[in-house]
Chains A and B, each alone.
Chain A
């Protein structure tokens, strides 16, 4: 049987805090700690990291007993496709230009939802892209080429 704490909100929050804090302390060891009189660049991060580790341990302990389960449905599709379309925008805007990058972003993010309808999204992409070009490039004068590299 799967132990209950593996579904616990508090347990995983604890893991997250402890891991972040631990990583911070680990990395900050390389920076001079200094003294209380002259705090080095390592002072504040190490104190904060240690604090986060303590918080993390406390939540992990709490999570072993708590009943608070992680709620709701995880949309794995949204979790992957949405950030990916943002990354694609970044890649494309410098290589292919504003319009293709934006079209990919809008179409891509729409595809992250579970009510995806091809025709509707295609129209929405065209309209929104045109709107953004009018507003940002012509209206606000952002200096990006509409198409590049062709």
Chain B
């Protein structure tokens, strides 16, 4: 059985000492920043990415991925214990998780969240392994027009499905595409938007933009509106769920995993949407919906499984098509590129150790997270006592060292400072920066494919319509735009976001 062999091969890569260590560092850091509000996976991955350049791409990706899904676990811990979502994906978990904690059932809530997440992570891993090869097979047949249409669809879908103002997200995609142009044009050798600055001839560094906007910009914004942090007491926690808890959680975990996997492969939908949908489904299916909001364990089991499945399945389009479905995936794609790997369907054939090793490591990482989270829950809660005024200078220090270590260039530090200010302004104006990052990463590839497609067709733009796969993507793009712009949907979207 090929799937089985591939997974065994992946496991053999993932259990090498170096990869295990990086996986552990990843999930450890991930849990930590998941617990801490005010710093998310995006900023952390951006800031630590330069430190992974010296190790191989496999260990680097394993660690960065660990930060990402580790944060989902950490976020739920604070949601349950202190009613404070460490990450947006855990907002829903607060509702019933915190009520359970108030009733002295924090232990079972934490345990069910971990079990649900682990189950969802396992299924997610299997789904990537199952869906990856056939998807890559199809994608190998894509020519330039198909790629251009696919990227257009991905970008539009990511922008309109993301939370926040849809039109602004679309404009931010265009902004990102424009930023991606800075530097020497590969075809003509003309330096574009380089303002005569030598350092800009190679383009704006990916890490510079990501750290500037998501770490520095975010800190400037946080210092403007300091969020109140609650004081709390932690008591000894009995972790074991009762047999009834397990029975009640079985269905929600299965359904949550399914819902999360579905939203996971859609571009733009963050884990918050998956967990909210799961919560609403469980509430609708419950015999007594009034229990929800008062400590129903289903309200923890479902959403926690959903956000983890979502996080895992976001890797499918990134690994097989080279299409990032979220800001974090754009960072992963950037990391691949920096390691000299051209993202896309070829990755699976040319770097099987990367693809299968990463997948297997995610499963191992999920296992580590269960072990890391349940017995050590007290430690994580203590971390919350680190005040933000001590946390953010540390983030600044790590960011600065990370950026400087990429090219030993002080100019990139100045540029990061500029992007910090720009990122802050974007956030204040309600322009979500994540779609910008997607545009920035895909920009150069999109231009190249557009150019090639038109060269192929001798300048006839109808090439995008005459090829069935590309036509399908374009129709889907228009359909997504029309549906999401329809007044009824917009109103409902507003309700969910608000």
Partners in one complex: yes
Binding site for B on A (CB under 8 A): 9-10, 12-13, 16-17, 20-21, 24, 27-28, 31-32, 35-41, 44-45, 48-49, 51-52, 55-56, 58-59, 68, 70-75, 77-79, 82-87, 89-91, 93-94, 102, 105-107, 109-110, 112-116, 120-121, 124-125, 128-129, 132, 136, 140, 142
User: When the two chains form their complex, are residues B174 and A37 in contact, meaning their CB atoms are under 8 A apart?
Assistant: no
Please encode chain B, from 77 to 98, with 1 for each CB lying within 8 Å of some chain A CB and 0 for all others: 0000000000000000000000
- Of B54, B223, B413, the residue contacting A86 (CB under 8 A) is B413
User: When the two chains form their complex, are residues A24 and B193 in contact, meaning their CB atoms are under 8 A apart?
Assistant: yes
Interfacial chain B residues near A129, Cβ < 8 Å: 397
Q: What CA separation (Å) do A51 and B424 show in the bound complex?
A: 23
Interfacial chain A residues near B181, Cβ < 8 Å: 44-45, 48
Q: What CA separation (Å) do A75 and B421 show in the bound complex?
A: 12
Interfacial chain A residues near B226, Cβ < 8 Å: 114-115
Closest to A123 in B: B390
Closest to A102 in B: B397
Confirm or deny: B371 has a beta carbon within 8 angstroms of a beta carbon on chain A. no
Q: What CA separation (Å) do A140 and B48 show in the bound complex?
A: 13
- Of A16, A24, A115, the residue contacting B389 (CB under 8 A) is A115
Q: What CA separation (Å) do A54 and B430 show in the bound complex?
A: 18
Can you give 9 A-B contacts (C-beta < 8 A)? A32-B188, A86-B399, A86-B400, A86-B416, A90-B410, A93-B410, A105-B396, A107-B393, A132-B397
B-side interface size class: 35 or more
Q: What CA separation (Å) do A120 and B394 show in the bound complex?
A: 14
Interfacial chain B residues near A132, Cβ < 8 Å: 397-398, 401
**Closest chain A CB from B490 CB (angstroms):** 14
**Closest chain A CB from B460 CB (angstroms):** 8
Closest to B429 in A: A13
User: When the two chains form their complex, are residues B216 and A52 in contact, meaning their CB atoms are under 8 A apart?
Assistant: no
User: When the two chains form their complex, are residues A17 and B175 in contact, meaning their CB atoms are under 8 A apart?
Assistant: yes
Interfacial chain B residues near A128, Cβ < 8 Å: 393-394, 397
User: When the two chains form their complex, are residues B54 and A140 in contact, meaning their CB atoms are under 8 A apart?
Assistant: yes
**Closest chain B CB from A122 CB (angstroms):** 12
- Of A16, A32, A83, A112, the residue contacting B429 (CB under 8 A) is A16
User: When the two chains form their complex, are residues A36 and B400 in contact, meaning their CB atoms are under 8 A apart?
Assistant: no
Interfacial chain A residues near B225, Cβ < 8 Å: 72-73
Interfacial chain B residues near A48, Cβ < 8 Å: 174, 177-178, 181
User: When the two chains form their complex, are residues A72 and B428 in contact, meaning their CB atoms are under 8 A apart?
Assistant: yes
**Closest chain A CB from B404 CB (angstroms):** 6
User: When the two chains form their complex, are residues A39 and B454 in contact, meaning their CB atoms are under 8 A apart?
Assistant: yes
Confirm or deny: B58 has a beta carbon within 8 angstroms of a beta carbon on chain A. no
**Closest chain A CB from B123 CB (angstroms):** 36
- Of B167, B223, B401, B416, the residue contacting A113 (CB under 8 A) is B223
Interfacial chain A residues near B174, Cβ < 8 Å: 21, 48, 51-52, 55
Confirm or deny: B245 has a beta carbon within 8 angstroms of a beta carbon on chain A. no
User: When the two chains form their complex, are residues B401 and A142 in contact, meaning their CB atoms are under 8 A apart?
Assistant: yes
**Closest chain A CB from B171 CB (angstroms):** 4
User: When the two chains form their complex, are residues B216 and A13 in contact, meaning their CB atoms are under 8 A apart?
Assistant: no
Within 371-412 of B, Cβ neighbours of A (below 8 Å) are at 387-390, 392-394, 396-401, 404-405, 410-411
Interfacial chain A residues near B393, Cβ < 8 Å: 105-107, 109-110, 121, 124-125, 128
7 closest A-B pairs by CB? A37-B459, A90-B413, A83-B417, A90-B410, A78-B223, A41-B185, A55-B171
User: When the two chains form their complex, are residues B178 and A87 in contact, meaning their CB atoms are under 8 A apart?
Assistant: no
**Closest chain B CB from A10 CB (angstroms):** 8
User: When the two chains form their complex, are residues A75 and B397 in contact, meaning their CB atoms are under 8 A apart?
Assistant: no
Closest to B395 in A: A109
Interfacial chain A residues near B220, Cβ < 8 Å: 75, 78-79, 82-83, 112
Please encode chain B, from 206 to 226, with 1 for each CB lying within 8 Å of some chain A CB and 0 for all others: 000000000010011101111
Q: What CA separation (Å) do A2 and B177 show in the bound complex?
A: 36
User: When the two chains form their complex, are residues B420 and A83 in contact, meaning their CB atoms are under 8 A apart?
Assistant: yes
User: When the two chains form their complex, are residues A86 and B417 in contact, meaning their CB atoms are under 8 A apart?
Assistant: yes
Confirm or deny: B170 has a beta carbon within 8 angstroms of a beta carbon on chain A. yes
Confirm or deny: B418 has a beta carbon within 8 angstroms of a beta carbon on chain A. yes
Q: What CA separation (Å) do A16 and B51 show in the bound complex?
A: 34
Confirm or deny: B451 has a beta carbon within 8 angstroms of a beta carbon on chain A. yes
Confirm or deny: B104 has a beta carbon within 8 angstroms of a beta carbon on chain A. no
User: When the two chains form their complex, are residues A140 and B224 in contact, meaning their CB atoms are under 8 A apart?
Assistant: no
**Closest chain B CB from A82 CB (angstroms):** 6
User: When the two chains form their complex, are residues A39 and B450 in contact, meaning their CB atoms are under 8 A apart?
Assistant: yes
Q: What CA separation (Å) do A90 and B190 show in the bound complex?
A: 29
Q: What CA separation (Å) do A28 and B447 show in the bound complex?
A: 15
**Closest chain A CB from B300 CB (angstroms):** 31
User: When the two chains form their complex, are residues B461 and A36 in contact, meaning their CB atoms are under 8 A apart?
Assistant: yes
**Closest chain A CB from B391 CB (angstroms):** 10
Known A41-B188, A124-B393; 20 more pairs at CB < 8 Å: A12-B429, A32-B188, A36-B454, A37-B459, A55-B167, A59-B168, A79-B424, A82-B220, A86-B399, A86-B413, A86-B414, A90-B410, A90-B413, A102-B401, A106-B394, A106-B396, A107-B393, A121-B393, A125-B393, A140-B54
Interfacial chain B residues near A116, Cβ < 8 Å: 389
